[in-house]
Amino acid sequence: MIAKITRGSRAGDIGAYLHGPGKANEHVYYDATGEKHSGGQVIGSNIGAEGQTDPARWVPELRAAQQTRPEITKSVWQASLRNTANDRVLSNDEWAEVAQSFAEKMGFENHPWVAVRHGADHVHIVVSRVDYEGNVWHGRNDRRQAQTVCQQLERAHGLEVAARRKTGPKRTVTQVRTVQRRKAALSTLRRPAVAEARSRPPGQDEARPRPVERTREEQQKAVREAVAKKLAARKAMTVAERSRSETLPDTTPRPGRGPRR
């Protein structure tokens, strides 16, 4: 099960999309009993909206909660839960259980939410990040949390474990370069040992004692020292070039003056 998360500000626009036929009738589907549906249907909620096919029946509830904190931007949180292609088609009751568990594990017990199904393999859970008392659900690391919850739901409902992407923050350019320098320094430390091992005749390894392996802390310390030496050498080279440029005589010819005789 994969969770795709988005945030928005207009609950009415999201409701109109979920209950409509879609841009290319992609919201027309057949459920587990073979019944055809066109547009979304609420199959679970905590505001008594089950069975509704009109967003006007539940959107005002989300708006009422949003109005308690109008300064909060993107106060509508939406997650699309999708099964893998090899999973069975879940019934509305099964999807309702999945949505209920997902909402509770994500921390939406006191926030108005609805689960709209408009496809055979997925549902949309729409939540107001602001509850009726003005409390805000901030949802830090919500994508990582949603993946963890999906894994729990897969095990609980006997669904196939879906492949997942990494959700950690991307490294900055400085972090990437630091990692590259450390790897280069580590490879420099290992290169002489590898060359020495290759130059030994066969059978010599058994006669000579094996070197003591470094601990992880010792390796990290050696890498830091090697990186520091490289940076110091580069800095010294820069200072030397700067001092050299300052001590060189100025040989630029000046206008109006010829060479001395």
DSSP result, 187-245? HHHHHHHHHHHHHSPTTHHHHSPPPPPPPHHHHHHHHHHHHHHHHHHHHHHHHHHHHHH
Q: In the chain, what percentage of residues exceed pLDDT 90?
A: 43
State the Cα–Cα distance between residues 55 and 76, nearest whole angstrom: 14
State the Cα–Cα distance between residues 83 and 128, nearest whole angstrom: 24
What local confidence, expressed as pLDDT, does residue 35 receive? 78
**pLDDT tens sequence across 223-248:** 788 878 888 887 887 766 766 665 65
CB atoms within 10 A of CB 220: 13
Q: Is the pLDDT of residue 168 over 70?
A: no
Residue 227, both tokens: 């990186």
Q: Is the pLDDT of residue 249 over 80?
A: no
Question: Band of the pLDDT at 173, cuts 50, 70, 90?
Answer: confident
Residue 138, both tokens: 């901030």
For range 79-106, the mean pLDDT: 93
Choose between 163 and 4: higher pLDDT.
4
**pLDDT tens sequence across 128-139:** 999 999 999 999
Place of tokens 């009993």: 33
State the Cα–Cα distance between residues 114 and 116, nearest whole angstrom: 6
What local confidence, expressed as pLDDT, does residue 137 receive? 96
Choose between 173 and 153: higher pLDDT.
153
Question: Which residues does residue 77 pair with via DSSP β-bridges, in sequence order?
Answer: 7, 127
**pLDDT tens sequence across 202-221:** 555 545 555 556 677 777 78
CB atoms within 10 A of CB 121: 17
Question: Band of the pLDDT at 147, cuts 50, 70, 90?
Answer: very high
Question: Which residues does residue 124 pair with via DSSP β-bridges, in sequence order?
Answer: 80, 116
User: Phi, psi at residue 248, to the nearest 5°?
Assistant: -65, 140
What local confidence, expressed as pLDDT, does residue 30 receive? 73
For residue 62, the SS3 value is helix
Say which amino acid occupies 124: H
For range 160-173, the mean pLDDT: 64
Question: Band of the pLDDT at 148, cuts 50, 70, 90?
Answer: very high
State the Cα–Cα distance between residues 191 and 197, nearest whole angstrom: 10
